[in-house]
Amino acid sequence: MSRSRTLAETAMERCDVLGAISDEPDRLTRQFAGEAMHRAHEQVGAWMRDAGMVVTRDNIGNLRGRYEGAAPGGPTLLLGSHLDTVRDAGKYDGPLGVVVAIAAVQRLHDIKRRLPFAIQVIAFADEEGLRFSSTYLGSRAVAGTFELSDLEHTDAGGVTMADAIGQFGGDPARLDDDRWRDGKLLGYCEVHIEQGPVLETRGLPVGVVSAIAGQARYHITFTGQAGHAGTVPMRGRRDALVAAAEFVLAVEADASSHNGLVATVGQLTVHPGAVNVVPGEVKLSLDIRHPDDSVRLERTRHLLERARQIGSRRNVEVADRLLGDNPSAPCAPRLVSLLAKAVDEAGVPVVHLVSGAGHDGVTMASLTEVGMLFVRCKGGISHNPAEAVTVDDVAVSIDVLGRFLELLPTLGPE
């Protein structure tokens, strides 16, 4: 355990280093294929090389480090997490899983130990979807489920995804090369902060994820009529913002009255956005999640219909656009059991949790078996600069991941 502690101290320092690499001067925002991601790759690539890995970057912009197994031609285990962040992020959502994976490989490299399988650590390019309102671009490319039509999406500055990939050094015409083709996979395992309060409440450093809740994201546009704030009478206004505001409250009320449902309007833009102009157009986002896909789909249909009803009562047009729909993804029972065994061997009571947050494992599940280990985070806070984990808990996660690697050859049949 003391080696895990030293590795954890390094992992914490590395999260601090990455936490200072941002596209914005006074807060952490590291978007897909941006300038900060370049600098993050230089750092992470150097750490991967120090841990004995051969480092490559694929077309979509995932950084990959490969640590060979004892004999060529054996299977591969994928480890990793993502390096992109939300706007004004904390330091651990994503990067922690990358540096913990590197730590687990470092421990093997230090004692020149080769396992009966190779390990590839992947630092995924886009889990949060900040730049293109996308999700899982990096893991979709690896899993072979990337939608080529997404390449035409534009960011807030009008840059297409295809151009962003090209500027970052990838070839958007060759994304198919990123698809996994390097032989048999044993699975994909990700360490991630919990982003919720369960582990803290139970007084446990880590927990085993049993499933990842499904989620959908939409853009909804309310189009009314802009007009003079001083002369257009209140009666008969077609104010897009008051229609949108009514919808936001309806979303909150609906999610609050359905157990397990969470729904969020996190973006809202008002046009033309002037003090003395009745808002003519509002665009907002809707993020909706539930562990049971049938409930999520039913409530989504209801809310989109509700938006149209509000619009028709207020003489405001409503249009919705689906940005992404990801069904809930169970973790693989074999990997769940193996992680639970590793947690137990580490002397920690085993708890299983469902993840309300999305993870690249959702996409990777179409390629291989997926397992996840959560690390306790302070107050369950994330997507917030106040995100915090302790070095002791990170040490436990490194210890557990090391045990998991040693247990993997005992994996039973699928």
251-268-312 Cα angle (round to 5): 60
Q: Which residue is it, tokens 């077609």?
A: 238
Q: Confirm or reject binding of residue 357 to ligand GLV (CB under 6 A).
A: yes
State which residue, 358 or 361, has the beta carbon closest to ligand GLV: 358
Q: Which does 94 bind (CB under 5 to 8 A by kind): Mn ion, ligand GLV, none?
A: Mn ion
State which residue, 357 or 372, has the beta carbon closest to ligand GLV: 357
State which residue, 61 or 358, has the beta carbon closest to ligand GLV: 358
Q: Which does 205 bind (CB under 5 to 8 A by kind): Mn ion, ligand GLV, none?
A: none
Residue 91 CA to residue 388 CA, distance in Å, equals: 8
Q: Which does 194 bind (CB under 5 to 8 A by kind): ligand GLV, Mn ion, none?
A: none
Nearest distance from C-beta of residue 382 to ligand GLV, angstroms? 8
**Is-contact 290 296, C-beta < 8 A?**
yes
| Among the listed residues 358, 361, 371, 402, the single contact to ligand GLV using CB under 6 A | 358
**Is-contact 61 32, C-beta < 8 A?**
yes
Per-position b or e across 272-311, b if 16+ CB within 10 A of its CB:
eeeeeebbbbbbbbbbbbbbebeebbebbeebbebbbebb
Which residues in this chain contact Mn ion in the complex, by CB under 5 A? Answer: 93-94
Residue 253, token pair as written in the block: 């009320």
Q: Which of 335, 331, 322, 336 is nearest to 291 (CA)?
A: 331
Residue 347, token pair as written in the block: 């002397």
State which residue, 128 or 155, has the beta carbon closest to ligand GLV: 128
**Is-contact 348 54, C-beta < 8 A?**
no
**Is-contact 100 85, C-beta < 8 A?**
no
Q: Confirm or reject binding of residue 128 to ligand GLV (CB under 6 A).
A: yes
Q: Confirm or reject binding of residue 37 to ligand GLV (CB under 6 A).
A: no
Determine the size of the site formed for ligand GLV (CB under 6 A): 3
Nearest distance from C-beta of residue 413 to ligand GLV, angstroms? 32
Nearest distance from C-beta of residue 148 to Mn ion, angstroms? 25
State which residue, 358 or 402, has the beta carbon closest to ligand GLV: 358
Nearest distance from C-beta of residue 83 to ligand GLV, angstroms? 13
Whether omega for the bond prior to residue 272 falls within 30 degrees of 0, making it cis, is: yes
Nearest distance from C-beta of residue 372 to Mn ion, angstroms? 11
State which residue, 8 or 357, has the beta carbon closest to ligand GLV: 357
State which residue, 212 or 336, has the beta carbon closest to Mn ion: 212
Residue nearest to Mn ion (CB): 93
Residue 129 CA to residue 126 CA, distance in Å, equals: 6
- Chain residues in the site for ligand GLV (CB under 6 A): 128, 357-358
